[in-house]
């Protein structure tokens, strides 16, 4: 597999695992993230097949400027993956206001900003794939993740509409919907999860970033598809969400007995 890929949020977690897979397959990869220190660490892992640029995807003008400069330097990517985002669990009335706006700005608006920045270049080239990142919490609302779920539902709706918009230009859009994944962000989530949420997740499978990345890379090799759902349990859950919503509602609702 050859070509050029831009991976936003590629300095750690799922994004870094995706970048590693792509480099190993022979692609040139540019990883983008807010943290210069994390980007330096990522480059040390990725080796000579990668470049890095710092950018905050919540800043639309900065994102467009970095993308334009990269295209002038290394060319138009044939693959753009955006995994930048975060979750701050907690019940709605308890969420810090900065995290309410932060999740919307990063998860949803950040995704939109990346797509708006790369789209003119992909459209002119007449080729390319965009991968956005939602979540299993973007397929079914999860108690304790009200705002996060809203942003990830938004990513799916945005990606579905974008897919239909750009198809005449020969462009492809996929949306990645990982379950709980063992990333630094997941460790941070666990520090804030209410006891009921932790209890509800005891039976939920948790994947490695590498497993999620492997699923995505396989999906890139297929001609069809839109939702990319890693893990057998998650794929079964996605089918249940679509066809057995009443069963899913019973499984996902908040227990009537509050855990203190």
Query: Is 38 tagged catalytic?
Result: no
Given the residues 11, 38, 86, 152, select the one marked as catalytic.
152
In terms of Cα–Cα distance, which of 26, 27, 13, 19 is closest to 52?
19
Q: What are phi and psi of 79, to 5 degrees?
A: -145, 130
Nearest 10 degrees: CA dihedral of 188, 7, 71, 106? -40
Instruction: Answer whether 89's CB lies under 8 Å from 151's CB.
Output: no
N-terminal to C-terminal alpha carbon distance within the chain: 52
Helix locations, the chain, DSSP H: 13-24, 36-46, 60-74, 97-103, 110-125, 146-166, 184-190, 195-200, 209-220, 232-243, 245-252
134, 135, 149, 159: the active-site residue = 134
Instruction: Name the nearest CA neighbour of 92 among 131, 32, 142.
Output: 142
Pairing state between β 79-82 and 50-54: unpaired
Q: Which of 11, 33, 86, 148 is labelled catalytic? A: 148
Whether 148 is catalytic = yes
Catalytic residue status for 152: yes
Query: CA triplet 212, 182, 195: central angle to 5 degrees?
Result: 130
Q: Is 194 helix (H, G, I), strand (E, B) or coil?
A: coil
Cα distance between residue 132 and residue 216, in whole Å: 11
- Which active-site residues does the annotation give? 134, 148, 152
């Amino acid at each position: 597999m050859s070509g050029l890929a831009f991976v936003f949020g590629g300095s750690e977690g799922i994004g870094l695992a995706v970048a590693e897979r792509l480099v190993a397959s022979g692609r040139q990869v540019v990883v983008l993230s807010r943290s210069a220190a994390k980007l330096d660490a990522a480059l040390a892992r990725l080796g000579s097949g990668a470049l890095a640029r710092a950018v905050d995807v919540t800043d639309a003008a900065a994102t467009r400027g970095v993308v334009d400069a990269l295209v002038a330097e290394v060319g138009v990517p044939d693959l753009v993956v955006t995994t930048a985002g975060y979750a701050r669990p907690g019940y709605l009335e308890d969420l810090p206001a900065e995290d309410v706006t932060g999740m919307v700005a990063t998860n949803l608006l950040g995704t939109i900003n990346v797509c708006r920045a790369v789209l003119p270049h992909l459209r002119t080239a007449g080729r390319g794939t965009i991968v956005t990142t939602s979540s299993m919490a973007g397929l079914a609302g999860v108690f304790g993740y009200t705002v996060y779920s809203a942003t990830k539902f938004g990513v799916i709706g945005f990606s579905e509409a974008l897919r239909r918009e750009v198809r005449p230009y020969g462009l492809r859009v996929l949306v990645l919907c990982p379950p709980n994944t063992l990333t630094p962000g997941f460790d941070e989530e666990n520090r804030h999860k209410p006891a009921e949420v932790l209890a509800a997740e005891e039976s939920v499978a948790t994947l490695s970033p590498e497993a999620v990345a492997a699923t995505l890379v396989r999906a890139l090799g297929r001609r069809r598809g839109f939702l990319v759902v890693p893990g057998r349990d998650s794929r079964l859950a996605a089918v249940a969400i679509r066809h057995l919503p009443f069963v899913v509602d019973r499984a996902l609702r908040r227990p009537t007995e509050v855990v203190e």
